Amino acid sequence: MVGLGAEAKRGEQFNPPLVTDELAAYDAIADNASALDVLGQDVLADIARQLVAMMRADVKLHGVGDGKPEDWMSGIRGGLGVEPVHHRSLSAG
More confident residue, 1 or 31: 31
Task: Output Rg (C-alpha) for the chain, integer angstroms.
Answer: 16
Q: Is 41 a domain residue?
A: yes
How far CA 74 is from CA of 37, 47, 66, 83, 90, in Å, comes to 32, 21, 11, 9, 27
- Identify whether 85 is part of a domain: no
With respect to residue 92, please indicate whether it lies within any of the assigned structural domains: no
pLDDT tens string 28-51: 999 988 998 999 999 999 999 999
Quick check: is 33 in a domain? yes
pLDDT per residue over 68-92, tens digit each? 555 555 555 555 554 544 444 444 4
Which carries the bigger pLDDT value, residue 91 or residue 10?
10
**Is residue 14 assigned to a domain?**
yes
| pTM for the full predicted model | 0.57
Q: How many domains does the chain have?
A: 1
Give dist(CA 85, CA 28) in Å, integer. Answer: 20
Whether 67 maps to a domain, the answer reads yes
**Position 93 in a domain:** no
Range of the domain at 55: 4-80
In this prediction, residue 33 carries a pLDDT of 87
Domain membership of residue 24 (yes or no) is yes
